[in-house]
Amino acid sequence: MSVALNATGLGKQYRNRWALRDCSLRVPSGRITGLVGPNGAGKTTLLRMAVGLIKPTAGEISVFGWSPTGQPALVLARVGFVPQDRPLYRRFTVGDILQLGRHLNPRWDQAAAVARLARLDIGLNRKIAHLSGGQQAQVSLALALGKRPDLLLLDEPLSNLDPLARREFMRALVEVVAAEGLSVILSSHVVAELERVCDHLVILNGGRVQVVGDIDELVALHKLLIGPRLDAAVIGGDATVVQATHTEHQSAMLVKVGAHPVGADWEVHDVSLEEVVLAYLGNPAAATLPAPVMEKAG
């Protein structure tokens, strides 16, 4: 597996608060990885450190083997970033934004950027302030893609977009991934948004990494067990409990299954990705390390 982003013990401290703490993860290249977690979990901090806008307080991060703060020229040439709220200079025209990209990046594909925006019917003469939210998002995306990056980072790219604009943005994103094969990491706190488009997942909770893994495998490896009211110890097998809820007569456990089957008393139900994510977010102590099975080529 080739690695797009590698973090070891990464941390960022602000005054008396750690925005990110002891974060270790490897994001594979050639995939669309979703970064999910509640507000304040450290998603923005992680993405900004990956592009070199923030220096780590602890630990290390590397992108394709380079340090974003140590070798900024190398990293910025290969990494595109769409920041939170997709900021642009509002008095600029669309064409001006592309010029900005052309002047500030050593490598720039003006023709492809122009073609992309033309396909979306976004005229180069239009002022950014006069575009709709969805169109501005497309311009931000075109700017980030203009340098033909190998890794694209997007911080909550769908926030404040209407459903149609969201679909169109995602469509534009996956089209370019299909055509160029670039790696993508996008953050959101809405799981449903990510499910359609991501095939890899990182769960950040309270500044720490809770889960890293392939989405299909995560969904397959987690089950909901329902049975009479009992404690976790009596599940049987070697499943790990992520979340347990008990009513007067019933227990429901969302577990990560192990190699051995669980006890026959339990009803086994499949779970959706959203349920898996919610279970982990609700139980910060639970964590899953990347299992060997997830390392095989996707």
Partner 1 sequence: MLHFHLDARSGVPTYIQLVNQVRRATRNGTLHAGDRLLTAREVVAALAINPNTVLKAYTQLESEGLVISRPGLGTFIAQGIPAPLAPALQRQLRRGLDSWIRSAEIAGLDREGMLALINLAMDEKDKKGAHVA
Partner 2 sequence: MIWLTWRQHRLEGLGTAVVVAVVVLVVGSLVVAVQPLLEQIRHACSIVVDDSCGRALIAFQSRFGMFQQPLYLAFLVLPVLPGFFIGAPLIAREFEQGTDQMVWSQGITRRRWLLVKLAVLGSATAVMAGILALAGQEWSTSVPDNSYSQWFAFDVQGPEFVAYVLFSFALGVAAGAAIGRTVPAMAAVLVGFVVVRTAIGLFARPNFLPPVESELSGPLFSGQGQAWMMGNPRPADLHGNTVGTDQFDQVTNACLHPLGGVVPGNFDLQACWHEHGVKLLQTYQPAERFPLFQGIETAIFVIAAIALLGLAAWLVGRRA
Cβ contact 164:89 at 8 Å: no
Check residue 167 for interaction with partner 1 (CB under 8 A).
yes
Binding mask 247-286 for partner 1 (x = CB under 8 A): -----------------------x-x--------------
Check residue 211 for interaction with partner 1 (CB under 8 A).
no
Check residue 21 for interaction with partner 1 (CB under 8 A).
no
Check residue 177 for interaction with partner 1 (CB under 8 A).
yes
* Cβ proximity to partner 1, 100 vs 174, nearer residue: 174
Q: Give the helix/strand (H/E) hosting 112.
A: helix 110-119
Q: How many residues does the chain have?
A: 298
User: DSSP 3-state assignment of 20?
Assistant: strand
In whole angstroms, how close is the CB of 78 to partner 1 at the nearest point?
A: 20
- Tell me the torsion sign for CA atoms 58, 64, 65, 69: negative
Task: Give the type of residue at 33.
Answer: T
Cβ contact 201:218 at 8 Å: yes
Check residue 151 for interaction with partner 1 (CB under 8 A).
no
Bridge partners for 184 per DSSP: 32, 152
Residues in the interface with partner 1 (CB under 8 A) total 21
Contact residue for partner 2 among 83, 134, 157, 213 (CB under 8 A): 83
In whole angstroms, how close is the CB of 224 to partner 2 at the nearest point?
A: 40
Q: How far apart are CA 50 and CA 154, in angstroms?
A: 11
Q: How far apart are CA 107 and CA 116, in angstroms?
A: 17
| Binding stretches for partner 2 (CB under 8 A) | 48, 51-55, 69, 72-73, 76-77, 79-81, 83-85, 87-90, 92, 96, 99-101, 103-107, 140, 143, 147
